[in-house]
């Protein structure tokens, strides 16, 4: 099982993911913004980061850029429900261009998250996973 860091400023959503992934046997850490996530990455082993895009202090795109620069072996899955006039699809495609290996649109099914986490952890590199 993996060490997964869940990053989202929405506490109830973050706790849902922490519980879901913990029940699947993963060790799960949590942060409420990208800045806190980078602090976790510096002090604990992390195999995968699941991050929201729009957060205070440091957003998911800046987090992606920092992870790619400092820890390119860490895989990142981006999650978003969109923001104001920007659709979640556009937001998540932007995350892929910054290094996310996969994307998940909010709302989603628990099975979708678990499947994408498994695929990301089984992939051999940090390149985007292409749906077949």
Neighbours of 122 (CB within 10 A): 8
Backbone angles phi, psi at 84, to 5 degrees: 50, -115
Domain-located, residue 111: yes
Reply yes or no on whether the pLDDT at 69 is more than 50. Answer: yes
The range of the structural domain enclosing residue 93 comes to: 3-122
> Do the domain assignments include residue 131?
no
CA-nearest of 4, 57, 6, 68 to 33 is 57
Sign of CA dihedral 59, 61, 67, 70: negative
Is 129 domain-assigned?
Answer: no
pLDDT category at 89 given cuts 50, 70, 90 is: low
Those residues whose C-beta lies under 8 Å from the C-beta of residue 3, and which sit 6 or more positions away, are: 26, 27, 28, 29, 44, 45, 46, 47, 48
Bigger pLDDT: 90 vs 25: 25
- Please say whether the beta carbons of 9 and 35 come within 8 A: no
What is the number of structural domains in the chain? Answer: 1
What mean pLDDT value characterizes the chain? 87
Q: Report which of residues 103 and 111 the model is more confident about.
A: 111
Give the domain CATH number at 59.
3.40.50.2300
Please give the structure tokens belonging to residue 113.
Answer: 């998250």
132 domain residue, yes or no = no
Confirm whether 128 is domain-assigned: no
């Amino acid at each position: 099982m993996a060490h997964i860091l869940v990053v989202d400023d929405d506490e109830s959503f973050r706790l849902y993911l922490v519980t879901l992934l913990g029940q699947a046997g993963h060790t799960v850490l949590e942060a409420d913004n990208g800045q806190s996530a980078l602090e976790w990455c510096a002090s604990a082993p992390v195999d995968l980061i699941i991050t929201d895009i729009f957060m205070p202090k440091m957003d998911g795109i800046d987090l992606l850029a920092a992870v790619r620069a400092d820890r390119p072996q860490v895989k990142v899955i981006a999650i978003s429900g969109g923001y104001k006039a920007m659709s979640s699809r556009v937001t998540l495609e932007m995350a892929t261009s910054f290094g996310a290996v996969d994307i998940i649109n909010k709302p989603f099914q628990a099975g979708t998250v678990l499947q994408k986490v498994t695929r990301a952890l089984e992939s051999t590199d940090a390149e985007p996973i292409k749906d077949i």
